[in-house]
Amino acid sequence: MKEFEGKKVFGGIAIGRIFYYSKVENQVSRKKIEDVAAELERFEAAKEKAKEQLGVLYEKALKEVGEMNAQIFEVHQMMIDDEDYNDSVKNMIEEQELNAEYSVATTGDNFAEMFANMDDDYFKARSADIKDISERIISILSGTQSVSELTEPCILVAEDLAPSETVQMDKTKLMSFVTKLGSSNSHTAILARTMNIPALIKVAIDPEWNGKMAIVDGNANKLIIDPDEATIEEYKIKKEKELEQRKLLLTLKGKETVTKSGQKVNLYANIGNVSDLGAVIANDAAGIGLFRSEFLYLESQDFPTEEEQFLAYKKVAETMAGKKVIIRTLDLGADKQVDYFNLGNEDNPAMGYRAIRICLTQTDIFKTQLRAIFRAAAYGNIAIMYPMITSVEEVLDIKKIVAEVKAELSETGVPYGNVEQGIMIETPAAAVISDLLAKEVDFFSIGTNDLTQYTLAIDRQNNKLDRFLDIHHEAIIRLIKLVVENAHKEGIWAGICGELGADTELTKTWLEIGVDELSVSPGMILPIRKLIRDSE
């Protein structure tokens, strides 16, 4: 039995076996082989297994997201049998006597680059598909496991996880996350908080742990490998006590989020996709304060259509039955990359071409999303908020585009609803001119994750800077206070949707400042409600 220290991003206890996830691209090496026939047989067997996996994924997607979204897995099955692709791989194995992993990786890179350089948009989009099928085959050949193939409840251990990887997971099989890298504001951490499961970062992980029994103690910041029976029994008792405490919190369901002195706060939930709705309902959120719409793009192999987006937004609006649903327009770029957007590499992506800057540059993508949102608003209480605003001019440009979208919908007779429009305060620039911005919008939602990194000049994805990251820095608190005051002067409301909204050390501070709304991960709704109800 061994113990390893980590840093908590969400508390709790998990007891189960480890699923060690290793990125395939880091493991491919060029090797000479002796038995060509055996290597060809390995390649063919890996292909067949890949097609079987894709068949399972197709059936799963068919049930969960419909035939249109499931078709990509059928396309991938056909691409695996592409004659040119197969000839290239086999030629490298036979003529150069190279291992199958390297042959597939090289062929995949060559074909992906070829498609990416084509003029036709359809073929350009196939570049990402080639990479996908190649990585799947290499994963099988090298014996590594894919995050999309979790078959039983497990503790997921990895170097790090990108947003595009977390969206593939079967969330019902995840008991806990443990990563070597990452930060408290990483998307893996956000997912853990949304799912209400324990998670640790900064752990010295080891591939040899795969399949071993383990205990994650998120409360004590530690991971226990190969625990003995006595330790397992001890933690089972602790977990039972945890569950009892959660049951006590359930008595707060249906009760108002109001202090003893009568100060009311709207307590909403943050979600990444439609599948999170169950947690929102179970934890009795008063609404959805942040629907991260970019996950619709991360989950897709191509630009999601207006109809696909409309159906997702409509389902959320209908399920929330009149409660407010605030949809953030796509916030891609920085650490959230999507191949088919072809955003390119940037020296400083966190401060680069991202979020509203993409929308105001590629207005066709923006208009498609806005049309879907306005249409869905006919079925519920939907509001929109725009991320990464830095100027009044950007807001005025957005208003012009919105007016065009509404005019187009009216002309074609498509029904749409009235939508509150707000902006996210994520930059010091927006905070400083919040008095001017408040005259142009219906509400402010403060994104403290980005506001913190931009104010402190600290990249929140850079692990070397953790010791300098003070999330309670007085500058952050002062900016939030300024934003709330300026909002109230213009008669609009101001909320917090960043991770500081769920920071229990700051709950009383938000009450003192007069924050109108807190949007947090579903699992934090009831604990925050208790804190507010216990406050004077």
The residues that are catalytic are 187, 497
Query: E strands of 342-438, at which residues?
Result: 382-386, 420-425
Distance CA 26, CA 46 (A): 19
Angle between helix 363-376 and helix 392-411 axes, rounded to 10 deg = 60
* Beta-sheet pairing, 213-217 with 13-21: antiparallel
Torsion of CA 11, 16, 20, 21, to 10 degrees: -60
Coil, helix or strand at residue 230: helix
| Residues 147 and 21 sit within 8 Å (Cβ to Cβ) | yes
| CB neighbour list of residue 298: distance below 8 Å, 6 or more residues apart | 163, 164, 167, 336, 338
Distance CA 280, CA 271 (A): 8
Coil, helix or strand at residue 6: coil
| Residues 252 and 503 sit within 8 Å (Cβ to Cβ) | no
Residue 10 exposure: Cα atoms within 13 Å on the Cβ side:
28
Residue position matching structure tokens 């409660």:
323
Q: Which amino acid is at 211?
A: G
Q: State residue 442 phi and psi, 5-degree precision.
A: -95, -20
* Beta-sheet pairing, 517-520 with 288-292: unpaired
Rounded (5°) CA angle 499-428-491: 80
User: C-alpha distances in angstroms, 259 versus 158, 509, 528?
Assistant: 42, 13, 11
Q: State residue 33 phi and psi, 5-degree precision.
A: -115, 160
CB atoms within 10 A of CB 252: 17
Distance CA 526, CA 534 (A): 12
User: C-alpha distances in angstroms, 35 versus 40, 87, 121, 451?
Assistant: 9, 18, 41, 58
Distance CA 495, CA 348 (A): 28
* Alpha helix stretches (DSSP H) within 143-219: 163-166, 187-195
Q: How far is CA 69 from the centre of its chain?
A: 19
